[in-house]
């Protein structure tokens, strides 16, 4: 398989196959720098046997995820990821598998074999014998192939649902400013009332751009207030969905009504549009499509998981921050930094589309 996305996703699989909701390109780059981690094919393991006494930690549309599945992945990841996050990713994976099964979406085995051959070749160039490494980590070829098949199946489904126009729109950028009234420390109804008052005043202004920047500096709870609310240029998918959808629906100079996200209430003003040049896209279509599918995967995973009927029975903590992890227990160490409202959910390497 010659597609660049195949290379990027394939390498990332060997790092953490269940972490497909993460930035896969970043994972691949990290692997190149951390030789001790890159050959760690242990992360591709899913348990083939379940203990009769294994506790059910969650169900996805009635299908159980058991404690021994989480424990095994925790061991293979050598404590680098807390059990709460591992369970989250197993839930996501189960939801995706069920969705693809419901869609009756299948792929040819040759695609899977080609992907494995590509991965094997990549590691051979690093002087790493993949089969020997798998044997060392007690990973069967059947288990490894099953996980590779999952990733290829997901990728092929999304690529098949992606059009050129969608890619060009998705990789185009907008520049916007916003005013945030955060709901972290005040009641939601108070925040909503305040943002509506600000909106009312701005709609009466003669110079909306100047008035907006002034109001952002005075009222916004986001650090961008120091720049009049300016967030710079961003692409679809790099902001929380509710924010991104509205921003990309606005014309230059147009202000949104109040938009609610998990951070609070926003007013959004689009100040520039940066469309992806069609000629540039045609010259390197494969690269641009790979970038967009990577972004699309993040949202697809989130949406599919949200639509699934998920029940959790674990007692794992789900912190907002990223503390250290106790490698023996999998528990997350105490770490509660002061949080500031941040709009960006994830970064992508789609900046080449500017």
Location of structure tokens 């207030």 = 225
62 within a domain of the structure (yes/no): yes
End-to-end CA distance of the chain: 28
**CB-based contact 142:112 (threshold 8 Å):** no
Could you say which of 274, 303, 328 is where a domain stops?
274
- Whether residues 28 and 88 share a domain: the answer is yes
Structural domain includes residue 352: no
Within a domain: residue 65? yes
d(CA 81, CA 331): 9
Indicate if 144 and 200 belong to the same structural domain. no
Tell me what pLDDT residue 52 has. 56
Query: Do residue 158 and residue 28 come from a single domain?
Result: yes
| Weakly modelled stretches of the chain, pLDDT under 70 | 1-52, 317-354
Residue 40 counted as domain residue = yes
Q: Are residues 60 and 94 in contact, defined by beta-carbon separation less than 8 angstroms?
A: yes
Q: What are the residues whose beta carbons fall under 8 Å from the beta carbon of 113, sequence distance 6 or more?
A: none
Count of helix runs (H) and strand runs (E) in the chain: 13, 7
Same-domain status, 103 and 208:
no
Q: What's the number of domains the chain is made of?
A: 2
Distance CA 251, CA 91 (A): 38
Q: Is 336 within a domain?
A: no
d(CA 126, CA 35): 9
Residues 159 and 200 reside in one and the same domain = no
For residue 85 the two structure tokens come to: 């996050």
CB distance 33 to 108 below 8 Å: no
d(CA 245, CA 221): 21
154 and 187 fall within a common domain: no
CA atoms lying within 13 Å on the CB side of residue 268: 29
For the stretch 53-107, pLDDT in tens is: 789 999 999 999 999 999 988 887 777 889 999 999 999 999 999 999 999 999 9
The pLDDT tens digits for 258-268 are 999 999 999 99
Residue 158 shares a structural domain with residue 187: no
Residues 200 and 64 in one domain: no
Instruction: Based on the fold, state whether residues 158 and 305 are members of the same structural domain.
Output: yes
Smallest Cα–Cα separation from 263: which of 317, 224, 213?
224
Identify whether 324 is part of a domain: no
pTM over 0.85: no
28: domain CATH number is: 1.10.4030
Q: Is residue 233 part of a domain?
A: yes
Are 123 and 230 members of one domain?
A: no
pLDDT confidence of residue 343: 53
Q: How far apart are CA 71 and CA 268, in angstroms?
A: 44
Picking from 219, 344, 212, the residue whose alpha carbon sits closest to that of residue 271 is 212
Does some domain include residue 321? no
Helix (H, G, I), strand (E, B) or coil at 353: helix
Gap between the Cα atoms of 48 and 322, Å rounded: 31
| Helical (H) or strand (E) element with 217 | helix 208-219
Cα–Cα distances (Å) from 138 to 44, 141, 257, in that order, read 11, 10, 56
* Beta-carbon contacts of residue 189 (< 8 Å; ≥ 6 apart): none
CA distance 137 to 116: 17
Residue 104's pLDDT is 97
Same domain, 35 and 147: yes
Q: Domain limits at 23?
A: 4-164+287-312
User: Cα–Cα distance between 27 and 148 in angstroms, integer?
Assistant: 16
CATH number at residue 208: 3.10.50.40
Region of 99 please: left (phi>0), alpha (psi -120 to 50) or beta.
Answer: alpha
pLDDT at residue 351, as a whole number: 44
* Residue 160 and residue 294 in one domain: yes
């Amino acid at each position: 398989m010659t597609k660049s996305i195949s290379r990027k996703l394939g390498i990332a699989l060997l790092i953490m196959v269940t972490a497909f909701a993460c930035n896969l390109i970043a994972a691949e780059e990290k692997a190149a720098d951390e030789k001790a981690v890159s050959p760690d094919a242990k992360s591709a393991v899913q348990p083939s046997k379940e203990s009769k006494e294994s506790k059910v930690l969650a169900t996805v549309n009635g299908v159980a995820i058991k404690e021994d599945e989480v424990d095994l992945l925790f061991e293979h990841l050598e404590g680098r990821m807390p059990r709460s996050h591992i369970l989250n990713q197993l839930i996501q994976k189960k939801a995706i598998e069920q969705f693809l099964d419901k869609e009756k979406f299948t792929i040819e085995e040759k695609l899977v074999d080609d992907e494995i051959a590509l991965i094997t070749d990549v590691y051979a160039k690093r002087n790493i014998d993949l089969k020997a490494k798998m044997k060392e980590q007690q990973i069967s070829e059947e288990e490894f192939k099953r996980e590779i098949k999952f990733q290829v199946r997901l990728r092929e489904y999304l690529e098949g649902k992606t059009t050129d126009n969608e890619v060009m729109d998705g990789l185009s950028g907008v520049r916007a400013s916003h005013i945030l009234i955060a709901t972290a420390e005040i009641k939601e109804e108070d925040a909503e009332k305040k943002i509506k008052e600000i909106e009312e005043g701005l709609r009466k202004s003669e110079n909306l751009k100047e008035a907006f920047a002034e109001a952002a500096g005075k009222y916004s709870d986001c650090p961008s207030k120091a720049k009049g609310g300016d967030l710079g240029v961003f692409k679809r998918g790099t902001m929380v969905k509710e924010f991104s959808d509205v921003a990309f629906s606005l014309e230059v100079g147009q202000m949104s009504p109040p938009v609610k996200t998990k951070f609070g209430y926003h007013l959004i003003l689009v100040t520039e549009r940066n469309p992806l040049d069609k000629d540039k896209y045609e010259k390197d279509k494969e690269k641009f499509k790979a970038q967009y599918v990577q972004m699309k995967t993040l949202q697809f995973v989130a949406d599919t998981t949200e639509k699934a009927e998920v029940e959790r029975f674990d007692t794992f903590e789900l912190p907002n921050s990223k503390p250290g992890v106790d490698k023996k227990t999998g528990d997350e160490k105490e770490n509660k930094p002061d949080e500031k409202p941040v709009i960006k959910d994830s970064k992508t390497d789609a900046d080449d589309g500017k």
